[in-house]
């Protein structure tokens, strides 16, 4: 018998002073049986950093054809493709060809540098690709406070993120490895 996804409900209050976006989102997250707490928390962080009324979680790990999050236009075009982890060159090319903007969020772990040294030179020319590295420690701290019902407050200013989840309060400084070129 296959394991079923675990459902989480999240109230996310976002104050993004950089983009002047202030909103509250009621989110339902399905955590795939193979997904870790840290990965699910990274999905929530990616949502907070890019919050928009049209930004949605996809089927994620259970569907290889979709990113972890995306934002589609009313015509069905993909405006924003958000991927977690360390995708290969082929997947990055596909994402960049199918969407207006692609953002990769990868954790600052022991494999990041070797991944980026291998794939970075091959995708550096992709003008609509942004690659961000997130620190592992604050995400692990938030993951320890994870429950089935979440109340998360996110404040973003000067590209820094402050998150509060129950008694866990962390500051996250994303490192931009590659920025969209105009």
How does pLDDT run across 93-137, given as a tens digit for each residue?
A: 999 999 999 999 998 888 999 999 999 999 999 999 999 999 999
**Does the pLDDT of residue 61 top 60, yes or no?**
no
Q: What is the pLDDT of residue 2?
A: 64
Give the pLDDT confidence score for residue 110 in this predicted structure: 86
Output the pLDDT for position 109.
82
- How would residue 83 be classed by pLDDT, with cut points 50, 70 and 90? very high
CATH code of the domain occupying 6-178? 3.10.640.10
Q: Are 68 and 84 contacting, i.e. CB atoms less than 8 angstroms apart?
A: yes
pLDDT tens digits for range 126-165:
999 999 999 999 999 999 988 899 999 999 999 999 999 9
What is the pLDDT of the chain when averaged over all its residues?
A: 92
pLDDT at 63: 64
Mean predicted confidence (pLDDT) in 1-8: 79
Among 125, 127, 116, 45, which residue's Cα sits nearest to residue 86? 116
Give the C-alpha separation, 58 to 81, whole Å. Answer: 10
The CA-based diameter of the chain, rounded to the nearest angstrom, is 50
Residues 166 and 41: their CA atoms lie apart, in Å, by: 14
pTM for the structure as a whole: 0.94
The structure tokens listed for 93 are 């090319």
């Amino acid at each position: 018998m296959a394991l079923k996804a675990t459902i989480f409900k999240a109230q996310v209050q976002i104050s993004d002073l950089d983009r002047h976006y202030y909103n509250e989102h009621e989110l339902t997250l399905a955590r795939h049986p193979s997904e870790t707490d840290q990965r699910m928390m990274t999905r929530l962080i990616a949502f907070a950093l890019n919050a928009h009324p049209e930004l949605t979680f996809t089927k994620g790990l259970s569907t290889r054809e979709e990113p972890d999050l995306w934002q589609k236009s009313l015509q069905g075009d993909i405006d924003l493709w958000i991927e977690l982890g360390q995708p290969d060159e082929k997947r990055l090319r596909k994402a960049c060809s199918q969407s207006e903007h692609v953002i990769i969020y990868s954790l600052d772990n022991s494999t990041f540098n070797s991944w980026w040294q291998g794939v970075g030179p091959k995708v550096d020319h992709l003008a609509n690709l942004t690659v961000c590295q997130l620190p592992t420690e604050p995400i692990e701290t938030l993951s320890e406070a994870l429950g089935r019902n979440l109340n998360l407050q996110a404040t973003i200013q000067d590209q820094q993120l402050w998150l509060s989840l129950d008694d866990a309060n962390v500051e996250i400084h994303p490192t931009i490895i590659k920025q969209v070129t105009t």
